[in-house]
Structure 1
Amino acid sequence: MSVKIHFLPDDVTVEARVGEPMLSVAARAGVIIPTGCLMGSCHACEVEYDDGTPFCACITAVPAGFEELTIHLYSDPLW
């Protein structure tokens, strides 16, 4: 099953497989999500779903049950 992932503000859309690591999806789309620990502890890779729910991209896979997802990127000035 595939899911359309739309990254904002870059306005890039890519097809992804359910269970595919979100960082891999972003990299394949040419979208850079900063990383730190790669374990979800430092939150350098924190982004948000369209509804405002934050998640760490380094430990999150593309979820099932969606045809499309919008991911909002933002940068932390401390990183």
Structure 2
Amino acid sequence: MPLQIHFLPDDVTVLAEPGEPLLQVAARAGVTIPTGCLMGSCHACEVEMTGQAEPCCACLTAVPSSPAELEVNLFFDPTW
């Protein structure tokens, strides 16, 4: 069952399937998440997601199966 993903601060909402790569969902929604290494080492793609205490690397993160609505807050790092 698709989930609703809301990207902040862009205020863009898109439907995504559980297990779909978060970077792929963002690209489909027209949201740019900066990337560097694409292996989680550089943390250029760090985002905050609803229900997670710590930021995660979007390059390693898949859409979870719950909750039905997920908010993803993008950081802005001027060095990337």
**Percent of aligned pairs sharing the same letter:** 67
Structure 2: how far apart are the matches of 1:78 and 1:50? 25
Matches within 5 A, 1:46-57: 46-51=46-51, 53-57=54-58
Matches within 5 A, 1:1-79: 1-51=1-51, 53-79=54-80
Return 5+ residue gaps in structure 1 as ranges: none
What SS does the aligned partner of 2:28 have?
helix
What SS does the aligned partner of 1:62 have?
coil
Structure 1: how far apart are the matches of 2:44 and 2:9? 17
Structure 2: how far apart are the matches of 1:11 and 1:65? 20
Q: Give aligned pairs, total.
A: 79
CA offset digits 1:1-60 (Å, max 9, x no partner): 211000011000000000000000000000000000000000000010135530100010
Partner amino acid, structure 2, of 1:23: L
Return 5+ residue gaps in structure 2 as ranges: none
What SS does the aligned partner of 2:25 have?
helix
What SS does the aligned partner of 1:63 have?
coil
Runs of 4+ residues deviating >6 angstroms: none
What SS does the aligned partner of 1:37 have?
coil
